[in-house]
Amino acid sequence: MNKNNKIFQDLFVLEMTNNHLGKLERAYQIIEEYAPIVRFNNVRAGIKLQFRDIDTFIHKDFKNSNIRQIKRSQETNLTKEEYKKIVNYIKKNNMIALSTPFDENSVDLCVDLNLPIIKIASANINDWVLLNKVAETKKPVIASLGGASLNDCDSLVKFFENREIPLAINHCVCTYPTRDEDLQLNQIDFLRERYPNLVVGLSTHEDTDWTNSILIS
């Protein structure tokens, strides 16, 4: 493994996304429930948020839409100061704060909050405007590859390698939730063989429990 990729070694990323429901107190509660499990098991863990600049991310013609995804993004929106408080609370509980930015302004927020790692969602691995913005930060990147073509994967890896930016990649099946028989865990071996200098992980959405994820080494 490339020494620059050690930041990803043995890292478990715990997902918060928008499960804080736009409420600071609920975000604190989630962190407080994760923290003792992480400590008890001596796990190196991060908690991942999602950042969207609602004013620019949602087109003006859809601001009052009843589309489920748009409503959830608007209803769970937090201010920069609230995100800062969440990030500080994650750090206070000895975990790593990171985020998935879905637009260029949200990449700036990752920088402003001094997040050590930026996550790229499966849907954005060929969004070259966003990827260039992320690369400008020089921060280590984790990218999920759900639904990606092999050409997209190769292009993504080459893009960050050429810029000497640490990169980890996650095998991901874009089914929510994912049944155990659909996890296609053999793809982890395929990715390890194709990209031997990278840390390869799993971004997972199991239907039942995390048994299959925990067995991966």
List 101's β-bridge partners, or say none.
Answer: 51
Please, which residues bridge with residue 171 across strands?
A: 202
Picking from 183, 152, 156, the residue whose alpha carbon sits closest to that of residue 168 is 156
* CA 210 – CA 135 distance, rounded (Å): 32
Number of neighbouring beta carbons within 10 Å of residue 97: 25
CA pair distance 217, 105, nearest whole angstrom: 36
Q: Which residue(s) pair with 44 in the sheet?
A: 11
Give the three-class secondary structure for 143.
Answer: strand
pLDDT at position 215: 47
Report DSSP state, residue 62.
G
Q: Determine how β-strand 96-101 pairs with β-strand 199-203.
A: unpaired
Element (H, E) at 104: helix 104-112
Distances in Å between the Cα of 97 and the Cα atoms of 11, 92, 116, 174, 215 are 12, 10, 8, 24, 25
| Count of beta carbons in the 10 Å neighbourhood of residue 94 | 11
Structure confidence at residue 131 (pLDDT): 98
- pLDDT tens for each residue of the chain, 217 residues long: 566 678 898 899 998 988 898 999 999 999 999 999 999 999 999 999 999 988 887 787 777 788 878 877 887 889 999 999 999 999 999 999 999 999 999 999 999 999 999 999 988 999 999 999 999 999 999 999 988 899 999 999 999 999 999 999 998 776 667 777 767 777 889 999 999 999 998 887 666 655 544 444 4
In sequence order, the 6+-apart residues with CB closer than 8 A to the CB of 155 are: 126
Residue type, 60: K
Distance of CA 21 to the CA centre of its chain: 18
The pLDDT score that the predictor gives to residue 97 is 97
